[in-house]
Structure 1
């Protein structure tokens, strides 16, 4: 599955490649170009309300064979983090996006070792209930973040702890960070992927943030060998396209092969 719901983080990626301001229109244009080029090869695509949902629906930019997932999260920035906290986006109406063709909603959850588990659990439970009422698949995406108090923390322990806390709250699909972000060798990544499979009560997939695009296929393979069902990822597919002088050509020649390679990995490993 493909993710194209990045918001201010995508703006930051473009800002690294150009001197002029990155406009909303530039982001919308890129997202629509990516949807047209990539969704024929994806089983589903995750789209944000802020920039791309309505334009994608109005322009029929998503391939008919690709399921629609609406991002239902509102990102709250801080001085040093583009996504410092998350709440449910009240402007995303489950019934409305379902009428547009959505089959699922996704909620990102920031997990920190020094913040209240009760708040996170309550938000996830609320989100899952909303999805059930609307007849939509619920996807949660817990992401381990640094401590607020500045003390040392362990990202790998955070990924496992987030799964222990939120992996049995009734969500239909759990979207996890790749253990160790793919670093440390096959055994460590596979061991911790196997641990996630034991903890999460239902299917889970990996996201690509924190993993270099060239390394992501191997990380997906390791995770799938230990029980993951696939991927829901964006950066590992299209990040290298950003900054290209010819976006359409770069999507066709770089992003499409990356996506199809990832699909081949999942088809080969998960179908065993």
Structure 2
């Protein structure tokens, strides 16, 4: 008897993550200890788990009416988001499948697949996709990264989930000379065709500098990645990110999966929910307009 779960040969329907324009306008609220550290910058008392969770729930309730999908982590919020029905109808749910470990002086110094994020279970809870962060370091074993990504893609495929891979460029551990932007492209070449369905990339030059050079580097990512790709906002100034999305989409990207450029400035606000409602929502709507305009330009 069939289990009803798609087989490894099934082709996922990515339209569930897209806006009607065909672009991706996805919200990330899966930051973990990094988000706790952001809160710590604004207060002297310890930042408890519930404070972080409350912010994530508020962001989900207030912002998902404008997003095509939302990415949520198990550590702080996934189960609560599901139980409290915090995601708006029409916004797809993505489960963060990565487990972060502090190491090498970094909050996220090592990453592996979280064994507590069971693909079949999160799918039953309503997730349509899962995301895996991968740290690209020029001096560490590419074979281990590739194997992890291929394992993740296979597990998602067997469970009927869309797989999203998010490689990020990190400094080498051996102290060698290093170029962050070279790592962004090297990661795309190494991991952009390993069986995952959607690639999430850092914005070249962090969205700052010569627009033509940013576009040239985005075109290289498009060439390296076998399938659609989107940008993230970490490292890109909030006011720069809309133009960074525009430049990336002009060279083949299809939108964004981002959090900090939308809600980071709300952390520490005297009225977080009002700030999310009045300011973060406006930023997200603007980003949606950027994506829709870019997709309309492709259809002409």
1:225 maps onto 2:250 in alignment: yes
The correspondence of residues 1-272 of structure 1 with structure 2, limited to 5 A, is: 1-78=26-103, 80-272=105-297
- Normalising to structure 2: TM-score of the pair? 0.90
Q: Secondary structure at the match of 2:257?
A: coil
Q: Assess if the C-alpha contact under 8 Å between 1:225 and 1:270 holds in 2.
A: no
CA distance in 1, matches of 2:39, 2:236: 18
By relative contact order (CA 8 Å, sep 6+), the higher-ranking structure is 2
Unaligned residue ranges in structure 2 (runs of 5+): 1-25
Q: Secondary structure at the match of 2:230?
A: strand
Which contiguous aligned blocks of 4+ residues in structure 1 show a shift greater than 2 angstroms?
none
CA distance in 2, matches of 1:28, 1:18: 17
Deviation at 1:185, TM superposition (A): 1.7
Deviation at 1:80, TM superposition (A): 1.6
CA distance in 2, matches of 1:142, 1:238: 22
Q: Secondary structure at the match of 2:181?
A: helix
Deviations 1:161-203 (A, max 9, x none): 0000000101100000001111222011100001111110100
Q: Say how many residue pairs are matched.
A: 272
Deviations 1:214-238 (A, max 9, x none): 1100000000000000000000000
Q: Secondary structure at the match of 1:231?
A: strand
Deviation at 1:79, TM superposition (A): 5.1
CA distance in 2, matches of 1:85, 1:224: 30
- Normalising to structure 1: TM-score of the pair? 0.99
Unaligned residue ranges in structure 1 (runs of 5+): none
Q: Secondary structure at the match of 2:158?
A: helix
Q: Secondary structure at the match of 2:255?
A: coil
